[in-house]
Homo-oligomer: A and B are copies of this chain.
């Protein structure tokens, strides 16, 4: 055992220092999303698996992956009551958390103890976060599992509601159905958030229900394999929940979730309430400079986020160098020639931000104020 560690000490110390250089590169994979006034924006993945259920990696791997991608918090949520044969891995649903928390110690990454309450639909699968003892939720009776989680003061998320039980007669059509049981769970405080995005799937019904029933919008990977198997991290990011938190702590995250201060970052889309998306956009797309060249206003804008914005002109002025709709790439600084007709001290640009969704069909409307220098 010691020998092993010793080997690590020599062969790997150099290796690790090399890796630290590589990590330097990986740093650039860390995708930026700005804070918003009053809150820190935390990048969180609340749904992941390890070898302690049907995942394919040791819990430490989830920590390294999260650090490589610049995440702020993760929850390991192995299936409760499902997974590998007992002849391979001992079922102790607290182990993934324990191992990961130890690995993350000192890194700043927040690891949340959780589990996936796994039953056929209804109720389907629910993540319970902030548990004290996951093992106590092991039971064949779903209501007992929910009650135990409630007792532990869990935050409940209805996962991939568009996935139906195969032992029922209906088939998979990707459309979520709301059962009476879900109303019951909602009333009992056993449904506080929903996955609007799970892996590659966007769930339109869940999006609607979150708005109707004031649930936290959640985006997760539900990752089982090493993350690099499913995302090309040099060009993509994993789906995430953005949590607008008062502080960078587990308690901060819990408070934000309870108050529904979340948004979902899925590919180049942001999904959330206008009260969060509007400031997020304004902290992302900054006016760097406004000057007139003859009577054309040159507005220099900088997209400081990792999101490509699709902007549609919704204002009174047309642009000298752009058509009605255009994409502002992540990190891009660009010039917009605004045909204001005359020289103005102040004017506004109005845009529909087509890939920022305040509802499944509505995008963010926004105004950018420009003061001539």
Interface residues of A (CB under 8 A from B): 1-4, 6-7, 9-11, 13-15, 17-19, 21-22, 25, 51, 54-58, 60-61, 64, 68, 79, 82, 86-90, 92, 95, 118, 120, 160, 162-163, 165-167, 171-175, 198-202, 204, 225-226, 228-230, 232, 234, 266-269, 271, 293-296, 298, 308, 310, 312, 318-327, 333-335, 337, 339-342, 354-355, 357, 360-361, 363
Contact = CB atoms under 8 A, between A and B. Distances in A.
Nearest to A54: B4
19 contacts: A2-B167, A3-B165, A4-B82, A6-B165, A7-B160, A18-B321, A18-B335, A25-B232, A56-B57, A68-B229, A87-B92, A172-B296, A173-B339, A200-B321, A201-B320, A201-B337, A268-B327, A310-B327, A318-B360
Stoichiometry, as copies per complex, reads: 4
Q: Which 10 residue pairs spanning A and B have beta carbons closest together?
A: A6-B166, A172-B294, A173-B295, A10-B172, A228-B228, A226-B226, A56-B58, A174-B320, A204-B318, A174-B339
Contacts of A234: 234
B14 A335 contact: yes
A232 B26 CA distance: 10
Contacts of A21: 333-335
Nearest to A165: B3
A173 B296 contact: yes
A325 B342 contact: no
